[in-house]
Each structure stands twice: as C-alpha cells, then as structure tokens.
Amino acid sequence: MSNTPKVFIVGESGTTGLRLHDRLSERKDIELLHLPEEKRKDIETIKKYAQEADLMFLCLPDAASKEIVEAVKGIDIKILDTSTAHRTADDWVYGFPELSKEQKEAISKADKVAVPGCHASGVIAILYPLVHAGILPINYPLHCISLTGYSGGGKKMIGEYDKGGNTGLLAPRQYGLSQNHKHLPEIMKVCHLCEKPLFSPIVDDFYEGMQVTIGFHTHFLQLPCGLPGEIEADDFQMILKKHYEGAKLIKVSPLSLDETNGLFLSANENAGKDSMTINVAGNDDRVLVISSFDNLGKGASGAAIQCMNIMLGFPEETGLVL
C-alpha cells in the first residue's frame, strides 16, 4: 500500500455515495479517485481503477455489487460494500467493530467488509451485548421499532418529500408490513437469534436521524449461570456500559430512570453525527432500550468511513463527527 492510500467510490451519485464523496473529499490523508461520469457503470473502467487503488466503496444495488465483486476477483484491493448483498456471507466480515475486540481486529485484516444496514445497526447495538452477556434468550419474542428520516429511502423518496403537496407524507408511515424486511437476516445472524423479531420500520417527515426502540419484560429474561436475584433496569445499563466501554462512536447515556421519566427523546438528536447514543428507560418490570443515531452517519456513510479507517490503519474516528 502506498503512503497515501488511494480510494474510489462506485455509485457516487446515490445518497450514501454522495455523502461519502463529500466527507472523503476533505481528507488529506487519502487520495480520492473519481470514476469518469460516462464510465461509472463500465466494468472494465472499474477494474482499471481497482488495479490502481487500495480500497473501493460499493454504493450500489445488490445485483450490481455482486457483479463488480465478481469482476475484480484476483485484484489486490480492499472492498467496502454498503449494499445488502454480502452482509450474511461467510467470506465477508461484518462491519460493526463495536461487537468485540475480535471483530475490530477482523475488520483491520479483511479485504471484504460489509457495512451494516441502518435499521440493523440500531437493533444490533442493543441486542448483541444482551445476548452476549447471557441475559437475553435467543428465542425471546422481540418487537423492534425503528423510526427514520426520509433520506434513508434514497433519491426517489427524498424527491417525493422535497416536492411537497402530498399530505400523506406529513404523518409517520409504517412499512415493511410483511415482516420480510431486508435487514432481518443480518440481525438474526449477528445476534445469534433463533426466533425472528417482529420489526416495525417507520419513516417520517424529517430528513435524517434514526431511533430504534426495543422493549423487554424482565421476568422473561434470565440471569447467566443461574445467579440469584431478578433482572432490573440497572442491569441493562451496567451490561451496555461495560460492553461499550472505550468505544469511540457508541455511548451509553448516564441518565437515571428517574431522569428519563420527563425526557422527550428526538429521533434526530444525532443528525449530522457519526455517533450513536443508547438510553435505558422504563422500570424494573418493563425496560425500554433506545439507540439514537443518524441513518446517514453511523447507519451508512459514517460506519463505512469508520471501517475504512480501521482497514487502512487510521484511528477509527478519523474524519468523523462524534
């Protein structure tokens, strides 16, 4: 690898690609290459750039990402795919370094990293530490609610909201009603679940920001190793704080349950940032855990840059807004 790593984006005109372009253009520690506009879909041109570069971002539909990955086989280049195509593939590393020290190490050594989905990031950030700690059974009947800004819907949806005139867009809209949302497989695999969660994504009339909420009835949970006592809300706080201790992008809110009683928690409180905040609320019988982040930040381009930093040997928070 050269002293200044060369990086390029395939799919630069999409929502995630544009955000990546804007963010990486400001970096002085990498050289951002640009595919000619008229050749942005030309496989041979992409292969030529791949032979010159150190790392390539794919911001494309699943089928196009798979086609390019196949085309560049044998070329020594690192790939970061932001699509759904490879998130559950065994020969790709899942790009969520906060899972464990081992996961971050795997990303640092990987040639192929799949960037997590936005909804999935908020769900996994809550569930994985609880499963890992042994208090959340993998067959627990979960219901995950995820509220997102409309930028997550891509150019077409952004255009519909920006155009205005449709009163149906002024209220929250639930979707994914068939319970077959494309982020469920990665949630299942990463969190080792054996029971599919109910998943309710909702899009609303604000540009960016995301809030994932998962509720737990504590009397259905389990203490690991048969330890005495009952699980309380403070146990959630303790487990999450311990898991994310030292994390650069994920922080557990220090608010007590009493302080959350009067709290209004906005879904866009972390808009414009690459960080995520986790709040524990509710009471000892019914606990709510809430992750708040930017669907275009930690939910997309911010997570992709974080992984790029790790893969190229930079501090993971380089160029990010925390």
- The residues assigned a catalytic role are 118
Name the residue type at position 297. Answer: G
**Is 33 in a helix, a strand, or coil?**
strand
Is beta strand 198-204 parallel, antiparallel or unpaired with respect to 173-174?
Answer: antiparallel
Q: How far apart are CA 95 and CA 302, in angstroms?
A: 11
- What does the alpha-carbon distance between residue 72 and residue 53 come to, in Å, rounded to a whole number? 12
Residue with tokens 């650069």: 248
Long-range contacts of 126-129 (CB under 8 A, 24+ apart): 126/212, 126/214, 126/240, 126/278, 126/289, 126/291, 127/187, 127/191, 127/193, 127/214, 128/99, 128/190, 128/191, 128/243, 129/239, 129/240, 129/242, 129/243, 129/244
In this structure, what DSSP letter does residue 95 have? S
Q: Which residues pair with 279 in a beta bridge?
A: 290
Q: What DSSP designation does 115 have? A: P
Q: How far is it, in rounded angstroms, from Cα 62 to Cα 151?
A: 19
Going by C-alpha positions, the residue among 209, 59, 225 that lies closest to residue 122 is 209
Whether 200 and 254 have beta carbons less than 8 Å apart is answered as: no
* H-helix or E-strand spanning residue 49: helix 43-52
What angle, rounded to 10 degrees, do the helices at 302-312 and 15-25 form? 50
